[in-house]
Amino acid sequence: MKTSLFILAFFVLAISPQKQELTHKEIIKQYYDAFNHSDFEKVKELIADSIVFTEGDYVMPYSKESFHEKFRWDSVFKPTYKIIELKEHGNQVIATVAVTSLRFKFLKNNPLTCSHKFSFKSGEIVKSEALDCIDADWIVWQKERDTLVKWVSMHHPDLNGFIHDLTMKGAVNYVRAMNLYTNRRDSL
């Protein structure tokens, strides 16, 4: 009887799924893969209950729920993420990633290749710090953005504020503004 219980217990343990610990690099690969497949459920598994994004002086803290809105905003621009390089340094990974999107195409910085430093705690992403965008032309970016904002203000004031609205509605309005501007009659 004891032998049967031992064999049964061993068999159950052998076939039961074991949660395997991912390396930090594997977490980052899965993170970007989830973005490419619009899989927020997977992203939620990889990030901590609170996560902080920094870009220069901007510090943006998110809960999983509020990060979902950022994820949705981003998805409207149909981005594609391609990891160029991953370097692991202790509890951090520096990821160099090329991103193509409708927004970057309009802003004439497509793809936009940037490095981000990810920090981890208990196997989850807790922070993403923007480091450098090696191929960015911020002068062109700003010119294109400012031209669009000014044109929208004059011709489609109902869309004013789209540039600062980081909700899904704001992203939809951003795409609408880009399309209206690109297809305007005065460009012909």
Bridge partners of 152, per DSSP, are: none
Torsion over CA: 150, 154, 156, 160 (sign): positive
- Average pLDDT along the chain: 90
| DSSP sequence for 158-169 | GGTTGGG--SHH
Q: Would the pLDDT of 6 be above 50?
A: no
Q: Would the pLDDT of 9 be above 50?
A: no
Residue with the larger pLDDT of the pair 3 and 28: 28
| pLDDT value of residue 187 | 52
**Span 21-136: which CATH code?**
3.10.450.50
Q: Which pairing describes strands 124-133 and 47-55: parallel, antiparallel, or unpaired?
A: parallel
**Per-residue CA distances from 25 to 59, 69, 165, 173, 181 (Å):** 24, 25, 32, 35, 40
| pLDDT value of residue 21 | 85
| pLDDT value of residue 152 | 96
Task: Output the six-digit token pair for 42.
Answer: 């997977």
| 0.95 exceeded by pTM | no
Domain with CATH 3.10.450.50 in the chain: 21-136
Q: Would the pLDDT of 186 be above 90?
A: no
As a whole-number percent, the residues of the chain with pLDDT over 90 amount to 83
Q: How confident is the model over 100-113, as pLDDT tens digits?
A: 999 999 999 999 99
Average pLDDT on 166-175 reads 95
